[in-house]
Amino acid sequence: MKMKCGACLLVLVLFMSCIPGKSILAASTTIAKHVGNSNPLIDHHLGADPFALTYNGRVYIYMSSDDYEYNSNGTIKDNSFANLNKVFVISSADMVNWTDHGAIPVAGANGANGGRGIAKWAGASWAPSVAVKKINGKDKFFLYFANGGGGIGVLTADSPTGPWTDPIGKALVTTSTPGMSGVVWLFDPAVFVDDDGTGYLYAGGGIPGGSNPTQEQWANPKTARVIKLGTDMTSVVGSASVIDAPFMFEDSGIHKHNGKYYYSYCINFSGAHPANIPPGEIGYMTSSSPMGPFTYRGHFLKNPGAFFGAGGNNHHAVFNFKNEWYVVYHAQTVSFALFGAGKGYRSPHINKLVHLADGSIQEVAANYRGVSQLANLNPYNRVEAETFAWNGRILTEKSSAPGGPENNQNVTSIHNGDWIAVGNADFGTRGARTFKANVASTAGGKIEVRLDSVTGKLVGTLNVPSTGGAQTWREIETTVSGATGVHNVYFVFTGNSSGNLFNVDYWQFTQNEHR
């Protein structure tokens, strides 16, 4: 996905070269998440079928691992979903600056994921869904995933980013599970833990009738299910119940608001639809019980093609974060920006969702602007370099740097003119005194610290030496001056090598002792 856009030195007019703090390089451009916007959440890689978990002041987004497929001549194929064997994870405390937590290598059948796949029985991991529940006094995390369209598996962990293990060594739910007969596609799980600690799993989709369904089969496919989970969250209790969702296609969703249970789903695309059940949109139903029966109420999210120019399937999850409701969904915005066509490759987005007084849901206004930043970033804490709001054509990779988080990543594929930026860093009235970064390099270069734009006020420059290897790490520090108040902070990378200049693991400012 690395596509450089003129990241090379330009010859500027003489008076420009004499202006203090002005950069003389052509900065790399953004792809689809442009400065000031919050959508898509990331554009340095893809992510489909998003699901949100909120935990300890952060929202974690778990996604299917959309990744580009190529023809032998290097052109992009349409997405065949062949790469959906892992789960991408990102998280944020403020909904604008996102931390890349890398990939969970879920599928392990036939040596998938380089032999590191966790579920050795599974050949795929589609549409993840995650819950947290206190088990024996300790928070445990449960990741449910679809093994293609043939069943649902579960992984467990002690943190939202892992490490993950397979607790049962087989699928949790299959078409042989009581009540699951008649489901065409047993996939797209959504997990929900109610206020009393009881867990429920929602899944299913597809249209009966093979290649020639009847109007009745389009209108009432009866392929959605809900089943109660055991107290351990890794077993099921009793038989699944049918959710008679009109024109059901895929993408189960569930949330609870004011004592009502909201089941939501992607409406199918064919047959004769009444006006209140439009094709390809997200419809919703309500019930007084998590097991139903549910009553159809309407729709709240149009197909992404209505907003972004590239349609395709519609996948979503509704969640509450810091007392506000949101919907996370995918759209083909990044691939569309790169190739002029989505080709089925999806990226995550978030917009606000509003429940009206009568219990209905207001139509969501999906857009690139997205959600405003909810809190300022503290630059005096250690910040992982793979945490950023916007970027100029970098990538991330698994890092061997010591002392980092689980599945630590670093920023890489850094060339002259590339950059990363965080939104709304608060330096306070005293301001910053020093800046340090943990770097690894064989070439070396510089990190320019700038405020508010790639050519904004230069407050410091970190000289990055060769450390002897791309994963040989060294913490380097420099002084800074003039960084006070709240700013978007840009780290602009410069250097003379045509290859990767260096990798960055984390960064941190220190504060002046006195005003």
Nearest to 176 by CA among 115, 131, 240: 240
The per-residue DSSP string of 207-249 comes to -SSTTS--HHHHH----EEEEEEPTTSSSEEEEEEEE--TTEE
Cα separation, 69 vs 339, whole angstroms: 13
Q: Which residue in 43, 100, 250, 418 is the catalytic one?
A: 250
Cα separation, 334 vs 339, whole angstroms: 9
Q: Which residue in 43, 49, 67, 386 is the catalytic one?
A: 49
Q: Which helix (H) or strand (E) holds 440?
A: strand 432-440
Q: Which two tokens stand for residue 31?
A: 């792809």
Cα separation, 307 vs 367, whole angstroms: 7
Asked about 250 being catalytic, the answer comes back as yes
Nearest to 416 by CA among 2, 8, 5, 3: 8
Residues 6+ apart with CB under 8 A from 503: 397, 399, 410, 411, 412, 414, 439, 440, 441, 470, 471
Helices marked H in 241-374? 305-308, 333-339
Beta strands in 56-165, from DSSP E residues, in sequence order: 58-64, 87-92, 98-104, 126-135, 138-146, 152-157
Q: Residue 123 burial by CB count (10 A; 0-12/13-18/19+): exposed, middle or buried?
A: middle
Residues 6+ apart with CB under 8 A from 385: 410, 411, 420, 437, 438, 504, 505, 506, 507
Asked about 384 being catalytic, the answer comes back as no
DSSP 145: E
Tell me how far the alpha carbon of residue 380 is from its chain's centroid.
26
Could you give the residue numbers annotated as active site?
A: 49, 250
